[in-house]
Amino acid sequence: MRIVVIAIGRLKQGPERELADRYRERFDDIGRKLGFRGLEIHEIPESRARDVAARMADEAAAISALIPDKSSIIALDERGETIDSAAFARHLGRWRDESVPTAVFLIGGADGLSPELRRKVKLSVAFGKATWPHQMVRVMLLEQIYRAATILSGHPYHRA
């Protein structure tokens, strides 16, 4: 199973980029042994449209163009379900075992994801009740993907 992260906005050079790259590399090392075929990250520029509806529609179109057929779509959304790391790992492991070709994680822009995209998601996840900047959400997501791989492999990184 491939894992794809589609994010509105770019991570500029700096500590967030370095940390995101570190977790991505760690996942690549352990993920292949677990049947994951890679972790791709697609960055989409924020829409410059003047009103919220147009911005969300522009971003939704760009995101939708990158989602492969038969994907499990997971939205990172402040209104989503708060799940622990073990449950997150179970979701990834189950999709892998069910031969889902791609798990696609969506990180929306400042206005969030369009209602049309939210209707397509299989799982909506929140990293707590707080609102987080998209740069931090990406780092936290990549850490959780790496952590899920360590849980699935029995590696001691996760000590719950």
The residues, ordered by sequence, that sit 6+ positions from 67 with a Cβ below 8 Å of its Cβ are 4, 6, 73, 104
What's phi and psi for 28, nearest 5 deg?
Answer: -55, -40
108 annotated as ligand-binding: yes
Place of tokens 């791709």: 40
**First-last CA distance in the chain:** 26
Q: Is 66 annotated in some ligand binding site?
A: no
Q: Count other C-beta atoms under 10 Å from residue 135's C-beta.
A: 20
The CA-atom distances, in angstroms, between 117 and each of 26, 39, 57 are: 30, 21, 10
Annotated binding site for S-adenosyl-L-methionine: 76, 108
Annotated binding site: 76, 108
